[in-house]
Amino acid sequence: MKKSILLGLSPALLLLIAVGCQKENITPSASSNHSFTTKAQVNNLRVWHDNGKQPGVDGVDYGCWSTGGNCLPDVIVTPKLSQSLTAFAFSSSQAGYASANYSTLSSVISTSVLDGVIGGELVVSIRGSITATAPGYLTFTAHNQDIKAVYPFKTN
């Protein structure tokens, strides 16, 4: 009888021990030194290329190719969201625009990148137009001209 009770309690005890020993999730504190991409992301991302020719041809004069960069995968957005992204890039107050439209923009742009714009660490610009046939690229650049992230967007 004692043996069957112990055998019945063993799985429950193991479960309690396993749950009790799980590591605690620690959220890093906010700082002004944002990490906009992780090392794992960089290995899977394409490289942003831009020879500066205006207006240029997507895939020839500018675009994302190769690996190991800061250019994220293409994202398909609605025409309405496309207009919002374009307005963000052309806004005279990008920090204000990002704050006012945070929930909409954060559906397709990392919150750390948006926080960088709001904090004045990053500036957004657009290369090309967001259409169904070719992507428009939102680039997020630090004040030292280092491009931190590139988001290619197409419409559906």
Q: Any idea what DSSP says for residue 110?
A: -
Does the pTM surpass 0.75? The reply is no
Contact between residue 90 and residue 67 where contact means Cβ atoms under 8 Å apart: no
Please give the pLDDT value at position 1. 52
Token digits of residue 116: 């960088």
Please give the pLDDT value at position 132. 95
| 146 domain residue, yes or no | yes
Q: Any idea what DSSP says for residue 55?
A: S
Residues 6+ apart with CB under 8 A from 99: 118
Work out how many domains the chain is built from and give that number.
1
| 83 domain residue, yes or no | yes
**Regions in the chain scoring below 50 on pLDDT:** 5-7, 9-42
| 15 domain residue, yes or no | no
Nearest alpha-carbon partner for 58 in 146, 132, 140, 143: 132
Domain that holds residue 87: 38-155
